[in-house]
Amino acid sequence: MGMIRVALDVPLPRLFDYLADDVSIEDIGCRARVPFGTGEKIGVIVAIPAQSEQSADKLKPVTAILRDMLPLPAEWIALCEFCARYYQHPLGAVMSFALPPLLRRGKLPRRKALAPINANPPAVPLLLPEQATAVAAIGAGEGFETYLLHGVTGSGKTEVYLRAIEAQLARGRQALMLVPEIALTPQLEGRVAARFPGARIVSAHSGVADAARARAFLDALEGRADIVLGTRLAVFMPLPRLGLIVVDEEHDASFKQQDGLRYSARDVAVFRAKQMNVPIVLGSATPSLESFHHARSGRYRLLSLNQRAVAEAMPTVRTVDTRREKLQDGLSAALLEALGLRLARGEQSLVFLNRRGFAPVLACAACGWISRCCRCAANRVVHLADKRLRCHHCGLEAGIPHACPDCGNLDIQPFGRGTQRLEAALQERFPQARVLRIDRDSASTPTKWQALLQQIHAGEVDILIGTQMLAKGHDFPRLTLVGAVGADAALFAADFRAPERLFAQLMQVGGRSGRADLAGEVLIQTEYPDHPLYLALTDHDYLRFAIAQLAEREQAGFPPFAFQALLRAEAPHVEVALAFLQNAAAAAAPLLGDAVMLYDPVPMRMYRMNNLERAQLLVESSSRPALQQFLGRWSERLGGLKTPRTSRWHLDVDPIEL
């Protein structure tokens, strides 16, 4: 009688053995249907052990081994094992996440005949000298090497990716390309498909339907797909012929998953490139400080694109000092004038305000009532378009009250400014203009978003108002003005990564202007025009900003000069969460050693969310291996700690928000 070891999706850091007839080493990587408790579960066979650690009389026989698809390759299992170890997550849960839902449930998609390949070779644009240097460097690399492609907006990073992919396809290899947002994939897919008419391209992101996603996974697994395009979850696509990984906009926070398996797809991609001994290209106009630090220390190879490929010059970036000016609807005279000028010239403008809704709070001036969320430590936001008060954290919503719920005053007022209010103000000020607002409310589905994009491209819009949704990746050839409003708040946020994010955001949103043959202009309204961040921005000087930020981080001992993990706990009452963290800290004490430091448990900044109160415990080390070793031993002990039924906890390794 043989035996199989199966990874099951259960919240326990262990594997399960089952008895099985006629199993062989070939079955590793197959899915198996096994009895579990009173029901059945599907798992992945990760080993054929000779002996079980479980006592022989307790072993149950497997229900079925599913040999209906190619077994998952050993390196895919190794990748999942790495994630399980590194992110302190049960292996079965990692695999369950990495598999498409259909395969996870033990099913197979109906096969579809592959679409015929049409092979009209496209026109290939000429490379600028810097692009050519980058392409040559990546093409010449043998084996694993991480390239950090730092290219200013519009410098043609995508063309470099495409050339690198082209070289791999020519050698019969597969390429994996990760992008931050689902919204970006159709545009990119079109471009890649047009460029490689002879290649099979599959998409992998959460917007793909179950059957299609499973088919894409099988296409990749069985080596039929040549290019896999997708968001962070695509990093788990099995690729037997993998030759290159590309991570576009590598600094983007969406590569880090914020629940369940809290992995960073960028970091996992680097591991994977090393595992498969293939090159990886991380591209960005504003690389993350982590990646930039590696490039400076020589671990990554830095490739720079400083010239714009399409437009003649970078947009001029200016700050508008709003300290002494009386703003009209939050807009300065300079910005209003610039908007008027674009209108007269028939060009598009974009006003960037990273806050959706009409106003962030509804308040009663008579008694001081404000529209707090009863479930979160946050205010409910006024959405005038559909007359709702909505909490952006837990989703709680209600109609806008007629009168102040506390004192009865009818004259309750919205305070502050969101995109809807800006839209109304601009429409009133420029009645002849076609104003379009783009945020998660107006572009709530991919279909709506595509329709809005089409409107912009068709030139049916004069003034765009948008949140960060608009900042990423889209080219608007007629856009010549970008105004940034309300950016200052991020300068003084408690999170040490806030300036890095603000810089990247403003750089990206500014890069939307002047992409074709029209010169672009960027106006940033601020009360701190002399802030180094804005000065670096007006000079288009990422390097200066990044070097200054790294110096600050080094002084303060923050990442990338330290490695962090965060234990978060949530419970109906913060005392319970804090008590759990105190116990966890006590359990950690004997494991700490010299290299790992434990902070005190504290309530989180957003201390209450959806009726749960939250606290956190930060662990830090200057050595990643030391931290990893500690976390492995600590999480074993955490599993043994008593936790009240009402509370939950999780570990977040390399957290990006503290």
Binding site for another protein (CB under 8 A): 358, 362, 365-368, 382, 384, 387, 400-403, 410-414
Smallest distance from the beta carbon of 369 to another protein, in angstroms? Answer: 10
Nearby residues of 658 by Cβ (< 8 Å), 6 or more positions away = 495, 496, 564, 566, 605, 616, 618
* Helix, coil or strand: residue 637: helix
Smallest distance from the beta carbon of 456 to another protein, in angstroms? Answer: 29
Residue 570, token pair as written in the block: 């949530």
Smallest distance from the beta carbon of 403 to another protein, in angstroms? Answer: 8
Q: Which is nearer to another protein, 337 or 406 (CB)?
A: 406
Smallest distance from the beta carbon of 361 to another protein, in angstroms? Answer: 11
Nearest to 143 by CA among 274, 252, 38: 274
Smallest distance from the beta carbon of 343 to another protein, in angstroms? Answer: 26
Span between the terminal Cα atoms of the chain, in Å: 51
Smallest distance from the beta carbon of 419 to another protein, in angstroms? Answer: 16
Smallest distance from the beta carbon of 427 to another protein, in angstroms? Answer: 16
What is the DSSP pairing of strand 174-178 with strand 227-230? Answer: parallel
Smallest distance from the beta carbon of 469 to another protein, in angstroms? Answer: 24
Q: Which is nearer to another protein, 318 or 388 (CB)?
A: 388
Q: Which is nearer to another protein, 422 or 536 (CB)?
A: 422
Separation between Cα atoms, residue 410 and residue 366, nearest integer Å: 10
Tokens 């400014």 identify what position?
417
Q: Which is nearer to another protein, 277 or 413 (CB)?
A: 413
Nearest to 503 by CA among 541, 465, 555, 559: 541
Residue 497, token pair as written in the block: 């990564």
Smallest distance from the beta carbon of 400 to another protein, in angstroms? Answer: 5
Smallest distance from the beta carbon of 370 to another protein, in angstroms? Answer: 11
Q: Which is nearer to another protein, 73 or 401 (CB)?
A: 401
Separation between Cα atoms, residue 464 and residue 482, nearest integer Å: 9
Contact 72, 29 (CB under 8 A): yes
Residue 268, token pair as written in the block: 């996992």
Q: Which is nearer to another protein, 192 or 404 (CB)?
A: 404
Q: Which is nearer to another protein, 137 or 362 (CB)?
A: 362
Q: Which is nearer to another protein, 368 or 532 (CB)?
A: 368
Contact 347, 518 (CB under 8 A): yes
Residue 61, token pair as written in the block: 């026989």
Q: At CA 588, angle to CA 81 and CA 620, rounded to 5?
A: 70
Contact 566, 618 (CB under 8 A): yes
* Helix, coil or strand: residue 565: strand
Q: Which is nearer to another protein, 371 or 513 (CB)?
A: 371
* DSSP string for residues in 328-380: BTTB-HHHHHHHHHHHHHT-EEEEE----SSBSEEE-TTT--B-B-SSSSSBP
* DSSP string for residues in 522-544: EEEEES-TT-HHHHHHHTT-HHH
Q: Which is nearer to another protein, 11 or 399 (CB)?
A: 399
